[in-house]
Amino acid sequence: MANNKLMNTLKHAVKTLRVGMVSAVITSAFISANVSAEEIGYAEKEELKFGFIKLTDMAPLAVAYEKGFFEEEGLYVTLEAQANWKVLLDRVIDGQLDGAHMLAGQPLGATIGYGTKADIITAFSMDLNGNAITVSNDIWAQMKKHVPHEGGKPVHPIKADALKPVVDDYKSKGKPFKMGMVFPVSTHNYELRYWLAAGGIHPGYYAPHKGDTSGQISAEALLSVTPPPQMPATMEAGTIYGYCVGEPWNQQAVFKGIGVPVVTDYEIWKDNPEKVFGVSKTWAEKNPNTHIRVVKAMIRAAMWLDENNNANRPEAVKILAKSQYVGADYEVIANSMTGTFEYEKGDKRDVPDFNVFFRYNATYPFYSDAIWYLTQMRRWGQISEPKSDSWYKDIAKQVYRPDIYAQAAKSLIAEGKAKASEFPEFASETGFKSPQKHFIDNIVYDGSQPNAYLDKFAIGLKNDSKL
Amino acid sequence: MIKQNAIPTIIHQVKGFQWPNIGQLLGAAALPIVGIVVFLGLWSLMAKNIDTSLGQFPGPAAVWEQTTTLVDEHNAQMDKADKFYERQEIRNAARVAKDPSYQPKIRAFTGAPTFFQQIWTSLYTVMVGFIVASLIAIPLGIVCGLSKNAYTAINPLIQLFKPVSPLAWLPLVTMVVSAVYVSSDPMFSKSFITSAVTVALCCLWPTLINTAVGVSSIDKDLLNVSKVLRLNALSHVTTIVLPSSIPAIFTGLRLSLGIGWMVLIAAEMLAQNPGLGKFVWDEFQNGSSESLARIMVAVLTIGLIGFILDRVMLVIQRKVSWDKNAVLR
């Protein structure tokens, strides 16, 4: 005990010294005054339970736990795998979970009342990219004829144009062409729809105002929901012919020899925002310090994951391969987490940015990212009424909370655990990325003009159209 | 009692030198071993010929390997828990030093439960569900056995609910428990209550029916004795009814416990409640190359525990039964 006390005094002294040094380096008296103002109080709730789905992009949670970042913030976190996205969301809403790894569309969908209506907010974006579309071996054999080849290998990105003849063939035979995605408001649903529509295949509309939430109105490809870990088994059983899902469930199909990933979401939309860390608004209001501390721990985890050019990734894969996290084989997870991606068996290509956790400001909750999801909800009829540009901005501002993120980041900077240069310039950041070009169909997205963006698509509801 | 019986038998055997009896003894020990060896042989032979998309079906060797892995994982997790508590104490002390008004609190380890902790959770849950069910079923069964009218009134309900699959109850139980069981600092977790109630619902019937049958078929002579002695209702039940229907009650209890154990695993799988069922489901979801072997470990564990539970009930039955010579199996 005496020993402990001595240690603590020592640690305290070292810390004071460090802070002193930092403030000495930052010579401006104004900034150091600002730094001390950023000190965050103790967490209101110290024992927390967070939910996740078995996907590699839950890594920031696992790393924050295993590397002790949560504990350093005085948080005692239990991580619990959830059965599917709906269960996960419901448990966050009714308070059984304090927060969870969520699809970016979930807080937005819940807030606008698509599905369960509830106020969910997010102050932390968990990753960029990380998904892919896989088709069964049989479909790939039919598709491959239409894919341009170079040097004996398919030219990437593979567009849905190559799938179109296959779907037409099914249609002429009167057979439904079925594909799986993970949740109606999932990134995967929108990505799969985006890819199909870009290739001229209609993925179908939703019409919630008429009670039709199947999303199959005038569809050429019928999409349905399957929980991520069950995707390979469902495709193997022949219930679906392909799917869009996060890792490791695409690489799992390659390893099992039951399917071929044809395109990654990196190729559909370069550096697309993917998962977020969502909490209920009432929880966040009750536990503001806890929330900031959670975000701090997760920012550190994300930094660790991307540090030194992905140097820590093998260790991260080892953590994820544990059965309480993702639990798939090391090789399967490593295939995509360490900067490569295997398409057809043996066709392993470099995709260094397949999983991005921190660089390119991946963790910052941009309003424009939220608005992109809202435009896709409108495009496919989940939002049945026309909405004004300002409505999109208002919803984004309700759900995405860069203010909380900024507090967490500033506190890390003050503690010397992060550098200001690693974050956006908080004073001037508008939350809108400049128009983004890298989509598979070359359509430019400008988050400040959602309705003009919707008018650019050949397939999908426009600004004023209604079903 | 058993010892008293056994000693004369042995003496008798030594005296008479009866070879067939020794042969029988050998057989009793050797035959199960032969059975197990043949089973292991067939299993490893079959396993080699089944290829799944998760690799080859696990044979005995793979299962044994995973058993040791699970033990190692358990030990590693326990080490982690120790370190977790150490770190927590240091952190608490630091905070007290900074803020003397703070009341330090030790929080339970936040790591994932290991296989052995899952076994314990399952056992605990099944026992609670089973005991609750027995406390309801035995008195109710006695009432039904004693009174023809009570039996006629309750019988249709028994017949209606007895064949209902536990999994049909599960959604109802889940919703009712989460609606009714509300407290800010619950003593038990909701998932535990849900599992235990589901188990109890399915454990009721065999005990209830067997108790009723046992009580209603008590020897007429015994009933007459009770009448002659003018026993009041309570002493009639405790001195005449209970002792004579013990065998029937225990047959019911053993059936109930077996069913309860089966139901629990299914309920844990479906409701994602902690326990062995969840372990199996999680491993299935993981889809790693070791998953099947780990599931197989769980399958054998479930079987073994079911067997042990039944044996324990048998021992208890022997202890409480008045007829020590009855053949129990």
pTM of the model: 0.80
Alpha-carbon distance A46 to B174, whole Å?
A: 28
Instruction: Report the CATH architecture of B112-320.
Output: Orthogonal Bundle (1.10)
Same domain, A105 and A20: no
CB within 8 Å of chain A, chain B residues 44-63: 53-54
Q: Of A239, A266, A293, which closes a domain?
A: A266
> CB–CB of A54 and B285 under 8 A?
yes
Same domain, A307 and A216: no
Alpha-carbon distance A364 to A396, whole Å?
A: 13
Q: Which of B53, B111, B286 comes nearest A256 by C-beta?
A: B53
- A241 in a domain, yes or no? yes
Q: Of A242, A266, A290, which closes a domain?
A: A266
Q: In a 10 Å sphere around its CB, with 0-12 CB exposed, 13-18 middle and 19+ buried, how is residue B252 labelled?
A: buried
Domain span holding position A8: 2-37
Return the top range by mean pLDDT from A272-276, B6-10, B18-22.
Answer: A272-276
Which amino acid appears at position A446 of this protein?
D
Which amino acid appears at position A195 of this protein?
W
- A107 in a domain, yes or no? yes
Q: Which of B91, B105, B282 comes nearest A81 by C-beta?
A: B282
Q: Which two tokens stand for residue A431?
A: 């939350």
- A362 in a domain, yes or no? yes
Q: Which residues on chain B are in Cβ contact (under 8 Å) with A229? A: 285-287
Q: Which of B91, B272, B291 comes nearest A74 by C-beta?
A: B91
Strand partners, A355: A129
Same domain, A436 and A416: yes
Closest C-alpha to A297, from A126, A71, A25: A71
Same domain, A283 and A410: yes
> CB–CB of B282 and A328 under 8 A?
no
Same domain, A433 and A326: yes
Backbone angles phi, psi at A244, to 5 degrees: -120, 125
Q: Which residues on chain A are in Cβ contact (under 8 Å) with B286? A: 54, 229, 323, 326-328
- A255 in a domain, yes or no? yes
> CB–CB of B94 and A12 under 8 A?
yes
The DSSP code sequence of A103-143 is: ETHHHHHHHHTSSS---EEEEEE--EE-EEEEEEHHHHHHH
Kind plus residue range of the DSSP H or E element containing B45 = helix B19-49
Alpha-carbon distance A152 to A137, whole Å?
A: 18
**Pair A389, A202: CB distance under 8 Å:** no
**Pair A242, A135: CB distance under 8 Å:** yes
Best residue of A47, A87, A90, A324 to probe chain B, by most B CBs closer than 10 Å: A324
Q: Which two tokens stand for residue A466?
A: 């209604």
Residue of chain A nearest B179, judged by CA positions: A94
Kind plus residue range of the DSSP H or E element containing A277 = strand A275-280
> CB–CB of B285 and A327 under 8 A?
yes
Q: Which residues on chain A are in Cβ contact (under 8 Å) with B97? A: 5, 8-9, 12
Alpha-carbon distance A377 to A379, whole Å?
A: 5
Q: In a 10 Å sphere around its CB, with 0-12 CB exposed, 13-18 middle and 19+ buried, how is residue B274 labelled?
A: buried
Q: Which residues lie closer than 8 Å to A73 by C-beta, 6 or more apart?
A: A43, A293, A294, A296, A297
**Pair A159, A199: CB distance under 8 Å:** yes
pLDDT digits (tens), chain A, 467 positions: 445 555 555 555 555 555 544 444 444 434 433 444 457 888 999 999 999 998 899 999 999 999 999 999 999 999 998 888 988 999 999 888 999 999 999 999 999 999 889 999 999 999 999 999 999 999 999 999 999 999 888 998 999 999 999 999 999 999 999 999 999 999 999 999 999 999 999 999 999 988 888 889 989 999 999 988 889 989 999 999 999 999 889 998 998 899 999 999 999 999 999 999 999 999 999 999 999 999 999 999 999 999 998 899 999 999 999 988 998 889 889 988 888 899 998 899 998 889 999 999 999 999 999 999 999 999 999 999 999 999 999 999 999 999 999 999 999 999 999 999 999 999 899 999 999 988 999 999 999 999 999 999 999 998 777 77
pLDDT in tens, B194-222: 889 999 998 899 999 999 999 988 888 88
CA atoms lying within 13 Å on the CB side of residue B222: 15
* Domain regions of chain B by residue span: 2-49, 112-320
**Pair A363, A297: CB distance under 8 Å:** no
The DSSP code sequence of B56-76 is: EPP-HHHHHHHHHHHHHHHHH
pLDDT of residue B11: 46
Residue B87 sits at the chain A interface (C-beta within 8 Å) = yes
First CA to last CA distance, chain B: 17
**Pair B106, B88: CB distance under 8 Å:** yes
Same domain, A79 and A119: yes
> CB–CB of B272 and A4 under 8 A?
no
* Number of C-beta neighbours around residue B170 at 10 A: 21
Alpha-carbon distance B275 to B259, whole Å?
A: 16
Strand partners, A80: A51
Same domain, A258 and A279: no
Same domain, A166 and A95: no
Give the CATH number, domain containing residue A79.
3.40.190.10
**Pair A98, A68: CB distance under 8 Å:** no
Distance from CA of A220 to the nearest CA of B (A): 30
Q: How many domains does chain A divide into?
A: 3
Q: Which two tokens stand for residue A427?
A: 């004073």
**Pair A347, A140: CB distance under 8 Å:** no
> CB–CB of B288 and A321 under 8 A?
yes
Contacts 24+ apart (CB under 8 A), B309-318: B309/B126, B309/B257, B309/B258, B309/B261, B310/B254, B310/B257, B310/B258, B313/B250, B313/B253, B313/B254, B313/B257, B314/B254, B316/B250, B317/B246, B317/B247, B317/B250, B317/B254
Q: Which of B110, B282, B283 comes nearest A77 by C-beta?
A: B110
